[in-house]
Amino acid sequence: MPIRVSAAPTAQLIGSCTFGTNASIAPTDHCVAQAGNDGISSVIWSPTANHLVSTNWNGDVSCWEVQESEGHILALPKAKGESRVYHGNGFPALDSAFSPDGSTVFSVGADKAVRMWNLTQPPLNNIPQQIGAHDQPIKSVAFLPSTNLIVSGSWDKMLKFWDVRQQSPVGILQLPDKCYDLDVRDSLMVVACAGRHIITYNVKGQPQEHKREESPLKFQSRCVAAFPDATGYAVGSIEGRVGIQYVANVPGKESFSFRCHRQEANVFAVNCICFHNQFGTFATVGADGIVNFWDKDNVQKLKGFPAIHRTITCASFSAQGNMFAYSSSYDWSKGSAHYAPGTPNEIWVHSVVKDEIKPKPKKPTPYK
């Protein structure tokens, strides 16, 4: 989406960041320098440190060390080793995942490869080691802590499980259609596929399919995220809706769906859903350039931020929950014909105030 240039104080490009009205969801948010020269496909935080990793459509996988003190944030390229590596031949990097100890990043992309980047050791030619492959581009990757395996989901309709000590998969599961997104929490893995298929698995040991069902939403799934307590998941679609689905019996809780990321007659895709580890609340970000914080347990919106001047493609809460990273760039939902060369690709880090994200007493009215 192109930037509209008008009289001050609208957003202006300064270095690799834009500043001014509607550049970020809050005026004190920190813009991460050198976020890349193409669309941002994912942002994730290390589970053990304030390390932030992004993947880009030009093949970049980048890492920053983020410092936070009393709401003030500074992100710098990772000090040790390389701060940026690349997928082969400029193929888009589409997703990444950390190992539980935060030492290693696993990434996947359109080069059909699963790659491993040890953050303390620069890879040969800045291309991370390949540990696996699919027959088609790989959309999503995650780490299974109970078995120390990496799982990758591809457009070849396969889930593959990898041990870093060998390049042949240790397991393969057939999917009903292309993998669009997957997420893992403890023993729960949830996979969203084309055709509105959603499959949940128990991955405590050998992966076992738990349930295969149709999405509660009427249109294509865009993103999925498992609850922090692994009792269910949230799925977002291109129609500006989110479904809250329980896979375990939780007294007093029922599955439901709600509308979001809509402006009058205009409907926008929900591009990403991410949960806050401490409170179990969550954020949605959309093609309308809006970030919303939600409380599924009390069925209410906690915080709606002002829209920024371009689509928000992905987001993530830090492990401690005190920082929220989100990216603004073209999301390619309208194809290359609508891409404006020179459109900035930015990552912002928001200092999370507890009152924005912690649950509040239940209100009598549902989400709006």
* pLDDT value of residue 217: 97
Contacts of 172 (CB under 8 A, 6+ apart): 158, 159, 160, 161
Residue 37, pLDDT score: 85
Q: pLDDT 10s per residue in the chain (368 long)?
A: 332 222 323 344 434 577 666 889 999 999 998 898 889 999 999 999 999 999 999 999 999 999 988 878 999 988 566 789 999 788 999 999 999 999 999 999 999 999 999 998 889 889 999 999 999 999 999 999 999 999 999 999 999 999 999 989 999 999 999 999 999 999 999 999 999 999 999 999 999 999 999 999 999 999 999 999 999 999 999 999 999 999 988 898 999 999 999 988 899 999 999 999 999 999 999 999 999 999 999 999 999 999 998 899 999 999 999 999 999 998 877 778 888 887 889 999 999 999 999 998 876 655 55
Edge-first strand listing for the sheet containing 197-202 = 179-185, 188-193, 197-202, 208-214
Please give the structure tokens belonging to residue 307. Answer: 């829209």
DSSP codes of every residue in 106-142: EEEETTSEEEEEETTSPPGGG-PEEEEE-SS-EEEEE
Residue among 232, 231, 199 nearest 214 (CA): 199
Q: Where are the alpha helices (DSSP H) in 150-290?
A: none
**CA 192, CA 183: separation in Å to the nearest integer?**
9
Q: Return d(Cα 330, Cα 147) in angstroms, integer.
A: 37
Main-chain phi, psi angles of 161, to 5 degrees = -115, 135
Residue 13 is predicted with a pLDDT of 42
Dist. CA 274–CA 149, nearest whole Å = 22
Phi, psi of 28 (to 5 degrees): -95, 0
Q: What single-letter amino acid sits at 57?
A: W
Distance CA 109, CA 122 (A): 20
Q: What is the pTM of this model?
A: 0.92
